[in-house]
């Protein structure tokens, strides 16, 4: 056993040594004292009775013959004790009466007490009944009071003035909840804080100075969370020595005067302008000024996060002093599958066990090990994290550990790339995240090439709401544009275009996929690098088959590949069509879905695409002639768009009749119609002049004739769906001023609260093969868990919801699943799919959601093909 006093001091030492941003205003002694009393609920008969061999008979009397009955968890009891019987022991730290100043009453203390007691991932619930002497006896309370007195003597905490507003109290509550949770987990790890005998804490002060503080310093270093001193900002050369001449937006980032307090910058500029480097430059300035401790770069997809991780692999070291050891972590659900990503925290695996229903039942050491071993979570605590936006959005949803995520982000500069690329549900989440981040003192940098003005206004307003500043209307429509936001106001600064980026991309309309195929083959025979972007996976697979039938072997890239194959294809796409590609390597055809339209640094001679909203067409056009390459097989950049004619009075099935897949992906046909008219009406996209007019025209629903009569019903349905999604998001999201409250939501594991709404639920197929009588993962890897993860592919549940076990393989399938986690074994959303060889592909027998038997096929170069009825053969 480990004495409770020792654990309290271990945790307090970690809290006081954690890197703390300047906005966390608690005095060190106050933070230490409050953190030390976080486990006050363990001064109860219920908790002490869990270990009969260590029953404190001297304080609580003899152990009852039949043991101590179970009762409320220690977090619940702790909150109850701090609210009632022990409340007066905190009066000198949270004074209830101060002449001429705000005083801490029961209501204002609430967020702080919930933060202290709720250190196992979610706020404690109120007990169903008032605990009695069988749970908290007089001996328990006497010992608790003695303990609090001892902590008061050790820390000598000054009185904490009560903030003047509920908003400021909520800020303190969120901050404290995150710090105490993290400190408790690290301080509970026996490898870092070995158990000691009771005699070791006979003198708490000696234990504090000689044991707790040194062990805490070592533990933070081992966890990769020790402070990393930023380097001095001397210009962008330290970060990006290869850039000899900064682009205009990079020069702005180097020299602009930053407002006091939290800052938000919105950078709108062309693809290839150096927006990412400008964001890192701004972040470095904020770090160097002591206004942040690190940065987190949030991307829309795993592919874009992987690409950003590669780009930052060298530059991030320049943000910190030469002797510092900053951590760089990739954060998304498949981060550990990226071969460049090396786990930088040597956390031992937690013991195998089933997760309890209540997090208060989970030992804190197991929490700590699980969290630190989960790299996508740890990235929010690392100095530099790169990942999908989802990891940040979980901080503002009522999921377990949300407060810890907020704490990890609070000291960071949050960089969101492609901020335009999210639906109504996620946009509402982003707005809430900006409000929380600003309120907690964090700075934000938002990047986009195609951001509608009304969305920029929403983003600026949300950030200023977090600063408790009034909304200010934006005025500028220039492009490129840099918007700088602080508590004192908003500055909109037009910028010049980077030399060589101003250009004219010819836009031509193609009536159908047959015409597109002809142009693709013509360019391929000329030795060009060609991309054909389809809006659905099925259309991409069909296009690849059509190209292959003409004697040309295309490269196919979409989201319905097993992860092992997808990672290989992504690497091959970047090799053949990325910045460093040249010569004959570039000749060929890439057929892809939307996975290539954002953040990936790809460069094509010709690009063919299905119709899409104007901002996405511009994004796709940004993959044309992206880098200087001398002579090309194509005379000039051209964007070919498969689209019906945008006539003045389109029919109701204007898009659905010829492109049903596009109509299913982009539900508002009026938006597509306006986009087509805007783009084809110009005959070209001239940058930067056309950027703002194209985007604003496409998204302006109020202009005369913006919604043709025949498209009005479908446009209204799309609007209603977007409004419903926003409403669902509002219901799911946390409210800052309500702070850390059990009533805010279910506080379930993050897997049960979505950061993205699914139009149609998906299942994860774990592809498997039969080898020597055993069912094994499709992908080969020495680590079975990694092999299964590399074998996963997502598919819509309506297409395949289950895969019956082949006859005779029941035992082999059960043996294969034995190594999975309990959730994976029991979840209907994880399906083991045993594949059998069939001609040149693997075959899977399955059933749809409605129970229809289907047969689908998987090929390494094609991915998961369309389901067909099993009877079709």
What CATH number is given to the structural domain containing 414? 3.40.50.300
Q: In terms of domains, do 489 and 528 share one?
A: no
Backbone angles phi, psi at 382, to 5 degrees: -70, 160
Question: Is pLDDT at 63 greater than 50 in this prediction?
Answer: yes
- Average pLDDT of span 94-107: 81
Residue 747 resides in a domain: no
User: What is the β-pairing status of strands 774-777 and 481-486?
Assistant: unpaired
Instruction: Give 862's pLDDT tier (boundaries 50, 70, 90).
Output: very high
Q: Which residue has tokens 């909840």?
A: 177
Q: What is the SS3 assignment for 851?
A: coil
Q: 251 Cβ partners below 8 Å, 6+ apart?
A: none
d(CA 265, CA 257): 12
Q: 793 Cβ partners below 8 Å, 6+ apart?
A: 560, 561, 562, 563, 764, 765, 767, 858, 863, 864
Instruction: Give 300's pLDDT tier (boundaries 50, 70, 90).
Output: confident
- The DSSP letter of residue 210 is I
pLDDT digits (tens, 9 = 90+) for 776-823: 999 999 989 889 989 999 998 888 999 999 999 999 999 999 988 877
Instruction: Give 749's pLDDT tier (boundaries 50, 70, 90).
Output: low
Residue 787 resides in a domain: yes
Joined tokens for residue 372: 């630190």
List, as one string, the DSSP characters of 332-386.
Answer: STTGGGSTT------PPPPPP-PPPSSGGGS-HHHHHHHHHH-HHHHTTTSSEEE
pLDDT of residue 867: 64
pLDDT of residue 356: 44
- For the chain, the first-to-last Cα distance in angstroms comes to 65
Report the chain's mean pLDDT, rounded to a whole number. 88
d(CA 7, CA 215): 12
Residue 306 resides in a domain: yes
Q: In terms of domains, do 184 and 261 share one?
A: no
Q: Is the dihedral of CA 222, 224, 226, 229 positive or negative?
A: positive
Last residue of a domain, one of 641, 676, 707: 707
Q: Which residue has the higher pLDDT, 448 or 760?
A: 448
d(CA 573, CA 581): 10
d(CA 767, CA 225): 37
Helices 28-36 and 138-155, axial angle in degrees (round to 10): 160
Percent of the chain with pLDDT strictly greater than 70 = 90
- Average pLDDT of span 500-529: 96
Q: Which of 348-362, 542-556, 573-587, 771-785 has the highest mean pLDDT?
A: 542-556
Q: In terms of domains, do 538 and 452 share one?
A: no
- The DSSP letter of residue 584 is G
pLDDT of residue 352: 37
Q: In terms of domains, do 445 and 474 share one?
A: yes
d(CA 435, CA 448): 19
Q: Is the dihedral of CA 354, 359, 360, 362 positive or negative?
A: positive
Q: 343 Cβ partners below 8 Å, 6+ apart?
A: 336, 375
* Spatial CA neighbour of 480 closest among 279, 267, 685, 290: 267
Reported as type and span, the H/E element at residue 222 is: helix 213-222
Peptide bond into 480 cis (omega under 30): yes
State CA 649 to chain mean position distance.
Answer: 43
Q: What is the SS3 assignment for 701?
A: coil
Percent of the chain with pLDDT strictly greater than 90 = 66
d(CA 824, CA 831): 9
pLDDT of residue 686: 94
Instruction: Specify the range with the lowest mean pLDDT, choosing from 270-279, 328-337, 826-835.
Output: 328-337
Residue 715 resides in a domain: no
Question: Is pLDDT at 42 greater than 60 in this prediction?
Answer: yes
Total domains present in the chain:
4
Question: Is pLDDT at 614 greater than 80 in this prediction?
Answer: yes
* Spatial CA neighbour of 619 closest among 820, 808, 370, 448: 448
Q: In terms of domains, do 417 and 537 share one?
A: no
* Spatial CA neighbour of 72 closest among 120, 129, 118: 129
On whether the CB atoms of residues 510 and 607 are closer than 8 A, the answer is no
Q: 357 Cβ partners below 8 Å, 6+ apart?
A: none
Reported as type and span, the H/E element at residue 29 is: helix 28-36
d(CA 50, CA 67): 9
d(CA 434, CA 432): 5
pLDDT of residue 371: 45
* Spatial CA neighbour of 174 closest among 115, 87, 215, 235: 115
pLDDT of residue 354: 41
- The DSSP letter of residue 160 is -
pLDDT digits (tens, 9 = 90+) for 823-853: 788 888 899 999 998 878 999 999 998 889 9
Q: In terms of domains, do 154 and 206 share one?
A: yes
Q: In terms of domains, do 71 and 130 share one?
A: yes
Instruction: Specify the range with the lowest mean pLDDT, choosing from 243-252, 407-416, 433-442.
Output: 407-416
- In sequence order, the β-bridge partners of residue 530 are 589, 606
- Average pLDDT of span 289-308: 80
- Average pLDDT of span 714-738: 93
List, as one string, the DSSP characters of 587-602.
Answer: -EEEEE-GGGSSS--B
Q: Which residue has the higher pLDDT, 285 or 227?
A: 285
Question: Is pLDDT at 590 greater than 90 in this prediction?
Answer: yes
d(CA 514, CA 526): 19
Q: In terms of domains, do 583 and 489 share one?
A: no
pLDDT of residue 414: 96
pLDDT of residue 788: 94
Joined tokens for residue 354: 């089933």
- Average pLDDT of span 293-315: 75
Half-sphere exposure of 600 (CA within 13 A, CB side): 28
Question: Is pLDDT at 303 greater than 80 in this prediction?
Answer: no
Q: In terms of domains, do 138 and 8 share one?
A: yes
Instruction: Give 742's pLDDT tier (boundaries 50, 70, 90).
Output: confident
Instruction: Give 362's pLDDT tier (boundaries 50, 70, 90).
Output: very low
On whether the CB atoms of residues 444 and 417 are closer than 8 A, the answer is no
Question: Is pLDDT at 349 greater than 50 in this prediction?
Answer: no
Q: In terms of domains, do 478 and 532 share one?
A: no
Residue 55 resides in a domain: yes
Q: In terms of domains, do 391 and 290 share one?
A: yes
Q: 654 Cβ partners below 8 Å, 6+ apart?
A: 644, 647, 669, 673, 710, 711
Q: CA-CA distances (angstroms) from residue 209 to 16, 199, 212, 475?
A: 13, 15, 6, 57
Instruction: Give 289's pLDDT tier (boundaries 50, 70, 90).
Output: very high
d(CA 463, CA 263): 9
Question: Is pLDDT at 127 greater than 80 in this prediction?
Answer: no
Residue 353 resides in a domain: no
d(CA 298, CA 305): 7
Q: CA-CA distances (angstroms) from residue 196 to 47, 193, 769, 864?
A: 19, 9, 51, 56
User: What is the β-pairing status of strands 412-416 and 328-331?
Assistant: unpaired
Instruction: Give 253's pLDDT tier (boundaries 50, 70, 90).
Output: very high
pLDDT of residue 340: 45
pLDDT digits (tens, 9 = 90+) for 146-180: 999 999 999 999 999 898 899 999 999 999 999 99
- Average pLDDT of span 118-137: 86
List, as one string, the DSSP characters of 640-666.
Answer: EEE-----SS--TTTTTTT-HHHHHHS
On whether the CB atoms of residues 46 and 141 are closer than 8 A, the answer is no
Last residue of a domain, one of 428, 462, 494: 494
d(CA 175, CA 178): 5
Last residue of a domain, one of 707, 738, 770: 707
User: What is the β-pairing status of strands 792-796 and 762-771?
Assistant: antiparallel
Q: Which residue has the higher pLDDT, 456 or 820?
A: 456
Q: Which of 318-327, 414-423, 606-615 has the highest mean pLDDT?
A: 606-615
On whether the CB atoms of residues 834 and 805 are closer than 8 A, the answer is yes
Instruction: Give 57's pLDDT tier (boundaries 50, 70, 90).
Output: very high
Question: Is pLDDT at 377 greater than 80 in this prediction?
Answer: no
On whether the CB atoms of residues 647 and 680 are closer than 8 A, the answer is no
Q: Which residue has tokens 């049903």?
A: 660
Residue 855 resides in a domain: yes
- Average pLDDT of span 430-442: 96
Burial environment of residue 487 by CB neighbours within 10 A (0 to 12, 13 to 18, 19 or more): middle
Instruction: Give 99's pLDDT tier (boundaries 50, 70, 90).
Output: low
pLDDT of residue 228: 83
pLDDT of residue 313: 67
Per the structure, the complete domain to which residue 338 belongs is given by: 257-345+363-494
pLDDT of residue 379: 60
Say what the pTM is.
0.88
pLDDT of residue 427: 95
Joined tokens for residue 683: 């005959």
Instruction: Specify the range with the lowest mean pLDDT, choosing from 261-270, 386-395, 493-502.
Output: 386-395
Instruction: Specify the range with the lowest mean pLDDT, choosing from 67-81, 199-213, 244-258, 657-671.
Output: 67-81
pLDDT of residue 330: 66
Instruction: Give 746's pLDDT tier (boundaries 50, 70, 90).
Output: confident
Q: Which residue has the higher pLDDT, 328 or 338?
A: 328
- Average pLDDT of span 26-47: 95
Q: In terms of domains, do 106 and 201 share one?
A: yes
- Average pLDDT of span 451-466: 96
Residue 504 resides in a domain: no
Q: Which residue has tokens 């796709």?
A: 620
Peptide bond into 111 cis (omega under 30): no
pLDDT of residue 128: 74
């Amino acid at each position: 056993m480990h004495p409770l006093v020792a654990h309290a001091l271990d945790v307090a030492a970690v809290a006081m040594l954690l890197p703390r941003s300047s906005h966390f205003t608690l005095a060190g002694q106050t933070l230490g004292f409050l953190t030390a009393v976080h486990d006050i609920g363990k001064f109860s008969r219920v908790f002490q009775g869990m270990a009969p061999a260590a029953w404190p008979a001297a304080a609580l009397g003899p152990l009852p013959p039949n043991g101590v009955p179970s009762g409320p968890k220690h977090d619940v009891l702790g909150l109850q004790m701090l609210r009632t019987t022990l409340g007066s022991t905190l009066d000198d730290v949270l004074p209830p009466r101060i002449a001429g100043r705000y005083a801490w009453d029961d209501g204002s203390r609430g967020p702080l007490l919930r933060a202290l007691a709720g250190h196992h991932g979610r706020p404690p619930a109120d007990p169903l009944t008032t605990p009695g002497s069988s749970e908290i006896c007089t001996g328990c309370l006497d010992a608790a009071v003695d303990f609090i007195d001892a902590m008061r003597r050790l820390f000598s905490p000054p009185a904490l003035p009560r903030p003047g507003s509920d908003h400021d109290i909520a800020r303190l509550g969120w901050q404290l909840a995150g710090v105490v949770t993290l400190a408790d987990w690290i301080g509970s790890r026996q490898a870092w804080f070995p158990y000691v005998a009771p005699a070791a804490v006979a003198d708490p002060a000696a234990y504090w100075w000689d044991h707790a503080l040194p062990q805490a310093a070592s533990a933070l270093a081992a966890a990769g969370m020790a402070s990393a001193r930023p380097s001095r900002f001397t210009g962008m050369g330290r970060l990006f020595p290869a850039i000899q001449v900064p682009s205009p937006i990079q020069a702005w980032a180097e020299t602009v005067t930053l407002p006091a307090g939290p800052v938000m910058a919105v950078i709108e500029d062309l693809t290839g302008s150096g927006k990412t480097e400008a964001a890192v430059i701004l972040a470095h300035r904020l770090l160097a000024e002591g206004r942040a401790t690190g940065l987190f770069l949030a991307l829309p997809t795993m592919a874009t996060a992987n690409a950003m991780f590669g780009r930052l692999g060298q530059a991030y070291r320049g943000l910190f002093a030469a002797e510092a050891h900053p951590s760089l972590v990739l954060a998304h659900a498949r981060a550990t599958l990226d071969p460049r990503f090396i786990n930088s925290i040597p956390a031992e695996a937690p013991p195998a066990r089933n997760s309890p229903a209540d997090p208060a039942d989970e030992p804190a050491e197991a929490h700590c090990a699980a969290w630190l071993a989960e790299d996508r979570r740890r990235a929010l605590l690392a100095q530099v994290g790169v990942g999908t936006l989802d990891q940040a959005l979980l901080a503002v949803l009522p999921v377990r550990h949300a407060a810890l995520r907020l704490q990890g982000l609070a000291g960071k500069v949050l960089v969101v790339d492609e901020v335009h690329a999210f639906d109504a549900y996620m946009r509402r989440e982003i707005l809430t995240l900006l409000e929380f981040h600003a309120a907690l003192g964090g700075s934000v940098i938002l990047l986009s090439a195609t951001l509608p003005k009304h969305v920029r206004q929403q983003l600026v307003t949300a950030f200023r709401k977090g600063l408790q500043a009034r909304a200010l209307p934006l005025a500028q429509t220039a492009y490129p544009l840099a918007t700088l936001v602080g508590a004192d106001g908003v500055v909109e600064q037009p910028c010049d275009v980077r030399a060589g980026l101003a250009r004219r991309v010819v836009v031509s309309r193609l009536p159908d996929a047959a015409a597109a195929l002809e142009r693709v083959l013509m360019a391929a025979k000329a030795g060009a690098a060609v991309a054909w972007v389809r809006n659905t996976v099925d259309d991409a697979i069909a296009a690849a088959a059509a190209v292959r039938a003409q004697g040309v072997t295309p490269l196919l890239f979409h989201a319905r590949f097993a992860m092992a194959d997808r990672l290989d294809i992504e690497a091959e796409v970047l090799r053949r069509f990325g910045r460093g590609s040249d010569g004959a390597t570039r000749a060929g055809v890439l057929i892809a879905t939307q996975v290539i339209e954002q953040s990936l640094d790809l460069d094509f001679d010709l690009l063919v695409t299905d119709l899409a909203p104007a901002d996405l067409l511009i994004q796709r056009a940004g993959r044309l002639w992206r880098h200087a390459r001398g002579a090309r097989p194509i005379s000039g950049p051209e964007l070919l768009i498969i689209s019906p004619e945008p006539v003045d009075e389109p029919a109701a099935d204007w898009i659905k009749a010829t492109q049903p897949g596009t109509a299913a992906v982009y539900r508002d046909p009026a938006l597509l119609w306006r986009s087509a008219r805007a783009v084809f009406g110009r005959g070209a996209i001239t940058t930067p002049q056309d950027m703002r007019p194209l985007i604003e025209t496409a998204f302006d629903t109020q202009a005369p004739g913006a919604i043709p009569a025949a498209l009005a019903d479908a446009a209204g349905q799309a609007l209603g769906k977007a409004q419903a999604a926003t409403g669902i998001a509002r219901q799911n999201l946390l409210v800052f001023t309500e702070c850390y409250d059990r009533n805010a939501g279910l506080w379930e594991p993050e897997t049960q609260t979505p950061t993205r709404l699914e139009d149609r639920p998906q299942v994860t197929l774990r592809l498997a093969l039969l080898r020597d009588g055993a069912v094994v993962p499709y992908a080969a890897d020495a680590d079975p868990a990694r092999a299964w993860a590399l074998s996963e592919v997502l598919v819509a549940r309506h297409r395949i919801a289950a895969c019956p076990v082949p006859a005779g393989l029941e035992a082999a399938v059960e043996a294969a699943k034995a190594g999975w986690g309990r959730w994976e074994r029991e979840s209907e959303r994880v399906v083991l799919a045993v594949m059998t060889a069939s001609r040149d592909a693997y075959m899977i027998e399955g059933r749809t959601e409605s129970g229809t038997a289907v047969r689908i096929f998987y090929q390494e170069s094609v991915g998961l093909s369309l389901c067909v009825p099993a009877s079709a053969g």
